[in-house]
Amino acid sequence: MNKDIEVSISNKNDISIIAIRGDVTAITGEAIEKAYQKVSADGTKKVLLCFDKDSYINSGGIAILIGIAAESRENDQTIRITGLSDHFQKIFSMVGLTKYTEIFPSEEAALKDF
């Protein structure tokens, strides 16, 4: 498990894309939270979280993502997710994240008709 994380923000039309590379934990998840807060402050209504296929997410990281999903509902935002392994797709479904976000097999699929 690598403790480093790289988070970057880009935009495609009216969609803010937050690219995440590395392990997502309670500590490293703060970088994702900061990126989400920045795009929210900029007024974005569409957010795509793009995970690197090798990303590891522990329970602390999932808690950060649940908080972002809950806040996105208050902000009238739509969040889509891509890049998750089959294992993490199942975990996201089990913890209820898929009630608030949609998971897509690729960035292209997530961006289509967003």
User: Which CATH architecture describes the domain 5-111?
Assistant: 2-Layer Sandwich (3.30)
pTM of the model: 0.93
| Predicted confidence (pLDDT) per residue in 4-63, tens digit | 899 999 999 999 999 999 999 999 999 999 999 999 999 999 999 999 988 889 999 999
Give the ranges where the chain is alpha helix by DSSP (H).
29-41, 59-74, 86-94, 107-111
Contacts of 74 (CB under 8 A, 6+ apart): none
Q: Where are the domains of the chain?
A: 5-111
